[in-house]
Structure 1
């Protein structure tokens, strides 16, 4: 499934400019388990290649874990997308895309997420919590790119 062809609008879109080239940014952010290097809430990340795809298990510092599947990966577009198959996130059908775009000698990260909120879920709180999680990750990416 191509996320670029998705008809629905993402619920979250965060963009961040970095004062490093897209190649450098992608080199540090463009692997499926790079999350362990820039998301301070992550304790560990393990990639598993299974017969039906590539998965990662992301273990958080609070001992919760997420199982996620790589849906698309493009070295040339500097992007990948993934879905969350299990974990404590209070949403359904979560999928996300990270893309690093070239802006001359700089780069821009575009991080988008699609999901549905369960019937009794608080959609405003969920969106706020996810945006905070994304911002925390972007802060970690900025620190990683300047280390």
Structure 2
């Protein structure tokens, strides 16, 4: 199994960041390469469409509003991995009116080596967090 993580400090209070990212169906609100999200099964499953027209279906595994965190699994996607589980968490930065957002995942590469799969998701996580910062700055 392979894993990767990215984190980013954002000069915005954690509650405000969580208000934007904490909705499991909210990715199109801050992640530009996800153009739409359709919730099903009472909001526990999201079907995402990316800018290239690919569809990614994910299931919410855990949600903790107080801890500002959720975990999800990919059910189907055009990615070369299986057994993908990721977590998105927003932390307060002590003594500051700022947040640290962490996005991490574990997965089993299929048809590619670990380094290639790690690079793919590290790029997605890092680019996604940068987009979140830009959205919050607007």
Assess same fold via TM > 0.5. Answer: yes
TM-score, length-normalised on structure 1? 0.86
In the alignment, structure 1 residue 35 sits paired with structure 2 residue 22: no
TM-score, length-normalised on structure 2? 0.92
Give 3-state SS (helix, strand or coil) of 1:11's partner: strand
Q: Which runs of 5+ in 1 are unaligned?
A: 1-7
| Structure 1 consecutive aligned stretches of length 4 or more whose deviation exceeds 2 Å | none
Is the contact made by 1:42 and 1:59 (CA closer than 8 Å) also made in structure 2? yes
Following TM superposition, by how much is the alpha carbon of 1:107 offset from its aligned partner in structure 2, in angstroms?
0.7
In the alignment, structure 1 residue 79 sits paired with structure 2 residue 74: no
1:53-72 mapped onto 2 (5 Å cutoff): 54-72=44-62
Is the contact made by 1:40 and 1:136 (CA closer than 8 Å) also made in structure 2? no
Following TM superposition, by how much is the alpha carbon of 1:127 offset from its aligned partner in structure 2, in angstroms?
1.1
Cα RMSD of the aligned pairs, angstroms, is 1.6
Residues 10-47 of structure 1 show CA distances to partners (whole Å, capped at 9, x for unaligned) of 71111110101101110111111221122221111111
* CA–CA separation in structure 2 for the residues paired with 1:73 and 1:144: 23
Residues 37-70 of structure 1 show CA distances to partners (whole Å, capped at 9, x for unaligned) of 22221111111125xx710000111111011000
Is 137-146 or 94-103 further displaced after alignment? 137-146
Which residue does the alignment assign to 1:92? 82
Which residue does the alignment assign to 1:139? 130
Equivalent of residue 21 in structure 1, options 8, 13, 24: 13
In the alignment, structure 1 residue 110 sits paired with structure 2 residue 110: no
Q: Which runs of 5+ in 2 are unaligned?
A: none
